[in-house]
Amino acid sequence: MAHDLWLERENGDHVLYQGHRHSNHAGDDRVAYEPEIVKAITCADEAGARRTIDPPTAYPARIAGPCAALHVLTSTGYWTRTTQGLRNQPRSELTGAIKSWESLTGIKRLNSWSPALAAPLSEALEITPLADPAALAPGSPLRLLITLAGQPQEGVAVTRDGEFQGVSDATGQVSVRLKRGDLRFLSARFEEPRADGLADTTLHYATLMLELPE
């Protein structure tokens, strides 16, 4: 069963957790992970100034704040389904491979918004609001920009709290309608073919966390 990632604010810092606390399916509230899955961290202030942070070496990953926006990229590496079962290795190291992929997951938390934050923080698949989510009237659409390698990405399906909202257009944009109150999770997934022999595809996952007032 897949586990979700989220960023909690604790005493001015952020802590990366994994589990099922915010999931629509059953499972443990928190599930430990190896700290090595954290590959890159970017923190930005409201002026858009960014700083990269070295990945922590302990679980759970604690990231020093403050951050108006924070992006964390994780990866569990290469996975290959073989005739003998599922292996956490690239296709090139195994025989009897049926299907293989590399999994990259980005989690982004937006604590406050400014026009300077209407651009991606990373090269990963990323969801970026083009307006202040907290300033929208209830039921008003929020325009999102979906990017990969810093460029608009067409054809990416977006969900809100697990419910399908739309697909990004040729400009990488899609509109969603947000519910107010508590944390909201916007998610996207994109499968990218590859031909390097290590994997058949790269599975890009992105989540944007928003905390909206009632």
Task: Determine whether 122 is exposed, middle or buried from the number of CB atoms within 10 Å of its CB (0-12, 13-18, 19+).
Answer: buried
Tell me the β-bridge partners of 107: 72, 207
The band of 26, judged by pLDDT with boundaries at 50, 70 and 90, is: low
DSSP character at residue 137: P
- For the stretch 127-181, pLDDT in tens is 999 999 999 887 889 999 999 999 999 999 999 988 999 999 999 999 999 877 6
201 vs 24: which has the higher pLDDT = 201
What is the Cα–Cα distance from 108 to 186, expressed in whole angstroms? Answer: 10
Domain carrying residue 96: 4-211
Q: Which regions of the chain does DSSP assign to beta strands (E)?
A: 4-10, 13-19, 38-44, 50-53, 62-63, 69-82, 85-87, 97-110, 126-129, 141-148, 151-152, 157-160, 163-167, 173-177, 183-193, 201-211
Q: What is the mean pLDDT of the chain?
A: 93
Instruction: Report the domain count for the chain.
Output: 1
**What pLDDT shows up at residue 22?**
61
